[in-house]
């Protein structure tokens, strides 16, 4: 049976480490790191994510503010709000909750955020630095994946990592991160997607498999080799009459099936998802160090 990669445990470790650092800052009388999260509209899932981020900030002693705009807010008003926080010295991280309403240009909004406060790691400057191997803010979910692998002492150098999915949020950045010639990376990376005629041809050759395709229980045991390390990024809702809610959350990997062959595996829930907010907080702390102390990111 596989060793479970416990995202709840590791995310708690990351947050506790940050909490100690922030407590030490408070004792000096200096300002603490600050994060503003901007929510446009009333999407229930987005509201839940935003509230979770605010709660996590409060738990570790970080300054937090949530700005809410109505669904029909004008793009120019959102841009003005972002600019006001670009020049606000009390807030070191700016996060605009995605997705945005269809009448707002998402790329324009992301590009309006000061790259020094781009704690989501989505600004083109951040993306460019990531690809070229320069220090920058990493997107939070890929960053969380690397943190899990590191803390479980799972070697990546020279290993074949197969990433299933090519999104700008997970697939592309995690592939680029693992390609870097540095500790915790230096892997041989294959990126797979829907154009592959036989996906299992690639997945069976993976030392480390990262599934991020948004298809419930898609990866099965016949698609992986013995001893594979499995990182499941998927969060899918499926009907379950036995659940009080009428549904349950599963990943892109058929956990019960694949666990029998894997050496390590992340559960869903309780795996990668919990790391995303933890690494957002870490990015905000790094932004604080840069802006307040002149340290490199």
Mean pLDDT of 68-89: 98
| DSSP notation for 72-83 | T--HHHHHHHHH
CA 159, 11, 281, 33: dihedral to nearest 10 degrees?
-130
**pLDDT (0 to 100) of residue 1:** 84
Model confidence at 185, in pLDDT bands (50, 70, 90)?
very high
| CA distance linking residue 144 with residue 61, whole number of Å | 21
What digits encode the pLDDT tens for the residues 187-202?
999 999 888 999 999 9
Q: At what angle do helices 140-151 and 7-28 cross, to 10 degrees?
A: 100
pTM of structure: 0.94
CB within 8 Å of 86: residues ≥ 6 apart? 94, 112, 113, 114, 117
What digits encode the pLDDT tens for the residues 255-290?
999 999 999 999 999 999 999 999 999 999 999 999
- Residue-range domains of the chain with CATH: 30-114 (3.40.50.10860), 140-274 (3.40.50.720)
Decide if 154 contacts 229 (C-beta within 8 A): yes
What digits encode the pLDDT tens for the residues 5-42?
999 999 999 999 999 999 999 999 999 999 999 999 99
Among 199, 197, 195, 190, smallest CA distance to 218 is for: 199
Q: Is 103 helix (H, G, I), strand (E, B) or coil?
A: coil
Q: So which residues are the catalytic ones?
A: 53, 97, 120
Tokens linked to 58: 């409060």
């Amino acid at each position: 049976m596989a060793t479970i990669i416990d995202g709840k445990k590791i995310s708690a470790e990351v947050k506790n480490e940050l909490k100690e650092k922030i407590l030490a800052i408070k004792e000096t009388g200096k300002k603490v790191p600050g994060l503003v999260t901007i929510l446009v509209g009333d999407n229930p899932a987005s509201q839940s994510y935003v509230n979770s981020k605010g709660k996590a900030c409060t738990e570790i002693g970080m300054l937090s503010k949530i700005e809410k705009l109505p669904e029909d807010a004008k793009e120019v008003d959102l841009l003005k709000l972002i600019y006001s926080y670009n020049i606000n010295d009390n807030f070191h991280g700016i996060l605009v909750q995605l997705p945005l309403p269809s009448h707002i240009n998402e790329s324009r909004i992301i590009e309006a955020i000061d790259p020094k406060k781009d704690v989501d790691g989505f600004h083109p400057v951040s993306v460019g630095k990531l690809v070229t191997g320069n220090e920058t803010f990493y997107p939070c979910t890929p960053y969380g994946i690397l943190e899990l692998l590191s803390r479980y002492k799972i070697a990546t150098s020279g290993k074949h990592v197969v990433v299933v999915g090519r999104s700008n949020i997970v697939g592309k950045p995690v592939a680029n991160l693992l390609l870097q010639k540095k500790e915790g990376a230096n892997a041989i990376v294959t990126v797979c997607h829907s154009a592959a005629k036989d996906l299992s041809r690639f997945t069976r050759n993976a030392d480390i498999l990262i599934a991020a395709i948004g298809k419930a229980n898609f990866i099965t045991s016949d698609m992986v080799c013995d001893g594979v390390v499995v990182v499941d990024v998927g969060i899918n809702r499926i009907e379950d009459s036995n659940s009080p809610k009428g549904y349950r959350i599963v990943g892109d990997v058929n956990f019960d099936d694949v666990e029998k062959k894997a050496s390590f595996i992340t559960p869903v829930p309780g795996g990668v998802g919990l790391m995303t907010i933890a690494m957002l907080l870490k990015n905000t702390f790094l932004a604080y160090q840069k802006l307040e102390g002149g340290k490199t990111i």
